[in-house]
Amino acid sequence: MRALAFAVGLAVASPARADELETWVKARIAAQRGGTAAATPEPPPANLWKEHPRSPPVIPGFVPPTSLAPLVKVVRPGVVNISTNNGGTSHSQGSGFVINPDGLVVTNNHVIERAQDIAVRLPDGRSFSATVAGHDPATDLALLKLANAKGLPTVTLGDSDQLEIGDWVVAIGNPFGLDTSITHGLISARERVLGMGPFDDFIQTNALINPGNSGGPLFDMHGEVVGVTTAIVSQGQGIGFAVPINLVKDLLPNLLENGTPERGWLGLNVRESDAANAPVVVDVYEGSPAAEAGITPGDRVVGIGGKPVSRYQQILRRVALLAPGTAVKLQLERAGKPLVVTATLMARPSVDALRATTAGKIPALGLILKPVDQKSAPGAEAGLLVEAIVPEGAAELAGVAVGDVVIEVNREPVTSLKALDLALAQFEPNEPVLLKVRRGASARYVALKPR
C-alpha cells in the first residue's frame, strides 16, 4: 500500500526526478533507522517541498524586527499621562500624545468628558494643567491645550490608509497608572464597525490595550502614529480597537475652529450596489450641495477628495467630519464615464425642512412621485405621477416608467402624498410593495421589492 502510494505521488514528476526523489527518501529513512541522520540534512528534491535558502532576504521587502527599543526611545517622549477629577472624589486616568510643541494633545473624549480639572504629565516629569480645546463624542476624540507649554517633544502623524493587515504596531499608554507601558502586536483588521456610532471606523489590533491606555497612540514601524487606542472587548484578550489617525487629521481643523464639530452635509441618499464597487445615488435633496453640483440619481460615487469609497458609511464619515463651507471634490461615474464635480458642504437642515424636500421620494423603491395635476389635465384619473425613476432601482427593474400613474398601493387607492405615506407605513422595511400602475388606457399590478 505504501509503495503504491509513493509511486502514485511520483507520477506527476518526470522519471528522472522521480528516481531522484525515491533515492533521497530511502537514504533519509536508512539514516534515521541507523541513527546517522545529520543535524542539518541535505534538502529534498524540489518536487517534494520547497525551502528558502537561509541567506536573507527570505521574503522580499520583509525585515524581521529584532528589537523595538530604538523606535520606543524616539517616540516615547511625546506620549503623556492624563489625570482628571470631577471636583469630587472621582478620578480617572488615560493617555494622550503631543502633536505640536505648543502643547496640543490628542486623547479620547471619554477620558475628559466629565472632568473639571485636567492634569497632563510628560515622561520627563513635567506636569501641565490643560483645558479642552475641542471634543467630539461621536468619534470619541478630544483635543487638549496645555497651559504655558513651549518646546514640547512631539510625535509624528502617519497615514492610516496605508496600513495593511499583518503590519506590526506598538501601543504606548498608561494602563492602570503604569506610565508609558509598551505593548506590540499586529493589525488584525481595518474598518471595523462596532455599533458605537455613525462614524465607526476602527483599526483592530492584538496589541494589548487596557484601562488607562485610552487616548494613547498606536505607532507603526516608521514610528508614526496611525491610530488612537480607544476600546477593548472586555470578554476577550488581544482584541483592541483604535481610531484611524487620518480620521483625526480630517477632524482637527473642525475642532480647532468650532470646539465641537459642525457637521457638513451633502444632501444625497445612496444605495450600495452588488454589481459595482461604488454606491449608486438614489435621491438628491432639492437645493442641497449635491443638487447644486449637478449630481443626479443614477450617478455612482467612486471617491471623495481623491479617496475611493465603496460603502455608504465611508461617504457619511468623509463628509460629516468636514465643516460647512468646505469645498469637496467628488469622483463620480455617469453612464460608465468618469466625472468630477465640486460640492460646497452646508450645515444639515432641520428635520422638518428635510421632510419638506423629500415628499414623494421613495429611495427604497427607486421612485419619485407627485400628484396628478387635474387642473392642467381635466378628466385625468387621480393618482400619483411617476416623475423620475432611479436607474437599477426596484421600480425600473419591475418595468415602471416615467409618465406612469400609480393609482393603488397594496390595493388601497392613493391620490395624494399623504395617502401614499399612510399606505407605505403598513409595510416592513424589506417587504415587497404591490402597486397598481396605469400606462395610457391599460393598468397592471407590479410587485416592487425594496433595495
Cis peptide leading into 349, omega within 30 of 0?
A: no
For 68-261, the fitting CATH number among 2.40.30.10, 2.30.30.30, 3.40.630.30, 2.40.10.120 is 2.40.10.120
* pLDDT, one tens digit for every residue, the chain (451 residues): 444 344 444 444 566 667 777 787 788 778 777 766 565 566 666 656 666 665 655 567 767 678 888 899 999 999 999 998 877 655 768 899 999 999 999 999 988 888 889 999 999 989 999 999 999 888 889 999 999 999 999 999 999 989 999 999 999 988 777 777 888 999 998 887 766 666 778 889 888 877 778 899 999 999 999 999 987 665 667 788 899 998 888 888 888 888 888 888 898 878 776 656 788 887 788 888 999 999 988 888 999 988 888 877 788 888 888 888 889 999 999 888 999 999 999 887 654 444 444 555 676 677 778 787 766 555 667 888 887 666 567 777 777 877 788 888 888 888 887 788 777 777 776 678 888 888 877 888 888 877 6
Nearest by Cα to 270 from 305, 318, 310: 310
Q: Where in the chain is the domain with CATH 2.40.10.120?
A: 68-261
The reply to whether the predicted model has a pTM over 0.75 is no
pLDDT in tens, 66-83: 888 889 999 999 999 999
- Domain 264-352, architecture per CATH: Roll (2.30)
**Angstrom distance (rounded) from CA 405 to CA 384:** 5
Asked if CATH classification 2.30.42.10 holds for the domain at 359-448, the reply, yes or no, is yes
State the catalytic residues: 110, 140, 214
Average pLDDT over the chain, rounded to an integer: 80
pLDDT in tens, 290-304: 999 999 888 889 999
Q: Where in the chain is the domain with CATH 2.30.42.10?
A: 264-352, 359-448
> Beta strand 156-157 with 224-232: parallel, antiparallel or unpaired?
parallel
pLDDT in tens, 230-266: 876 656 677 888 999 988 888 888 888 888 888 888 9
Nearest by Cα to 182 from 174, 192, 190: 174
